[in-house]
Amino acid sequence: MPARKDVCFEEAALWKRFKGGDKAAFTLIYREYTRYLFEYGFRFCTDREKLKDMIHDLFIEMWNSRDTVSDEVAIRFYLCRSLKYKLIRANYQYRTASGRQDKFLHQYNQVESTVEERIIDAEISDSRSILLDNAIRKLSRRQQEIITLRFYMGFTNAQIAELMHMKYQSVSNLLYNALGRIKETLETTPFARRLLETFYLFL
């Protein structure tokens, strides 16, 4: 718990420096959070160059409007929300998982590991990771999005509600139903039971 407080404090201090016109703080934000924007944005736009341009424009807009943005924000959430608005305005919609998407995420050197690798410990074999990946692919577009936001991106249900334009209870219901679908898809094995137990710990 103390570590989490330290992170929040450091983020708040970083944002304050950025708001004050500190270019070093702005550069640090760019380097620290760009990979999250790529991993989230690629769920909407598979055009790598187009996505790069949109993220670049987002940071330029953020710098130019630093005097008017809120004094207190969760930086990663703020950036992902802003990028989503840009993508939607450009007529991009959330895409379901695909092999092409996974290939891109693994090749791009700033994108972190896949959702199952973040949730499950490193001892889980590739075959078991594939089992989970296949289960997630069978979910609806919105169910995949909520699983990504909650377990991979680490957003709270309240933040997800804002990102997906849903009521808080609706988010909880959708997440519960998505986990139920995963449970139905996974084979009844000790691994599957442990996997679902791990998911429910985050609810």
pLDDT digit string, tens, across residues 92-122: 877 765 544 444 344 433 334 444 444 444 4
pLDDT of residue 103: 43
Domain 127-203 has CATH 1.10.10.10: yes
pLDDT of residue 3: 39
Instruction: Determine the Cα angle at 103 with ends 100 and 108, to 5°.
Output: 125
Question: First CA to last CA across the chain, in angstroms?
Answer: 18
pLDDT of residue 134: 78
Q: How many residues does this entry show for the chain?
A: 203
> How much is the mean pLDDT over the chain?
76
The H or E element spanning position 54 is helix 48-64
Is 46 exposed, middle or buried (CB count within 10 Å of its CB: 0-12, 13-18, 19+)? middle
Is 36 exposed, middle or buried (CB count within 10 Å of its CB: 0-12, 13-18, 19+)? buried
Query: What's the CATH code, domain 9-93?
Result: 1.10.1740.10
**24-70: pLDDT as tens digits:** 999 999 999 998 898 888 888 888 899 999 999 999 999 999 999 88
Least reliable range by pLDDT among 70-74, 101-105, 130-134, 168-172: 101-105
Q: What is the pTM assigned to this prediction?
A: 0.62
Domain residue spans of the chain: 9-93, 127-203
Q: Residue 108: count other Cβ atoms within 10 Å of its Cβ.
A: 14
Taking the C-alpha atoms of residue 182 and residue 180, their distance in angstroms, rounded to an integer, is: 5
pLDDT of residue 185: 79
Rg, the chain, Cα only: 18
Q: Residues with Cβ < 8 Å from 51, sequence gap 6 or more?
A: 38, 41, 42, 45
Q: Residues with Cβ < 8 Å from 154, sequence gap 6 or more?
A: none
Residues 197-202: what's their mean pLDDT? 55
